């Protein structure tokens, strides 16, 4: 009886430890994804390279953007020069961690305003899927894919 009780407690302790590790990993993944979203909203992407592995890949609206460094230099960075505001709304995130890999899906709407007031604001419905990898004790984006479309009129 003692052995079966001890074995049961040992299994419960292992499951609790695995669950706590999963929760800690999920929290770390959520922090990375949230830091990226927050940087976009603040239009300050100076710290975002630290959120992506150097061999990361970025995909956006049907295009291959390359590494995050390339995407930042040739796409994201220059776009911010024209923007007055970027606001995410109705953001939802789902995270699944499997060992050293995390799968993240996000849905949201976003609203963009321009420094040139003659340009009409943009409002889109968006989705993103990401793969984050843990190397050592650090989680970073490995693959990031986002797409957006205009709102469709109600039927």
Please state the φ and ψ torsions of residue 47, each to the nearest 5 degrees: -100, -5
pLDDT at 20 (0 to 100): 54
Residue 43 has pLDDT above 70, yes or no: yes
What residue segments make up the domains of the chain, in order of their start? 24-150
What pLDDT shows up at residue 155? 66
Indicate whether 16 pLDDT > 60: no
Q: Which two tokens stand for residue 88?
A: 């995410």
b/e sequence 75-99, b meaning 16+ C-beta within 10 Å: ebeeeeeebeebeeeeeebebebee
CA distance 7 to 4: 5
Q: Are 133 and 140 spatial neighbours (Cβ–Cβ below 8 Å)?
A: yes
80-129 residue pLDDT tens: 899 999 999 999 999 999 999 999 999 999 999 999 999 999 999 999 99
CATH number of 24-150: 3.10.450.50
């Amino acid at each position: 009886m003692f052995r079966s009780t001890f074995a049961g407690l040992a299994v419960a302790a292992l499951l609790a430890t695995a669950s706590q590790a999963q929760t800690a990993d999920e929290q770390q993944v959520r922090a990375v994804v949230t830091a990226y979203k927050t940087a976009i909203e603040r239009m300050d992407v100076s710290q975002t390279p630290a959120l992506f592995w150097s061999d990361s890949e970025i995909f956006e609206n049907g295009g291959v953007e390359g590494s995050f460094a390339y995407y930042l230099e040739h796409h994201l960075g220059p776009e911010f020069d024209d923007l007055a505001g970027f606001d995410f709304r109705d953001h939802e995130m789902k995270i699944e961690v499997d060992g050293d890999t995390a799968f993240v899906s996000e849905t949201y709407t976003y609203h963009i305003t321009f420094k040139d007031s003659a340009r009409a604001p943009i409002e889109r419905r968006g989705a993103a899927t990401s793969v984050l990898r843990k190397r050592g004790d650090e989680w970073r984006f490995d693959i990031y894919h986002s797409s957006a479309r205009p709102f469709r009129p109600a039927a």
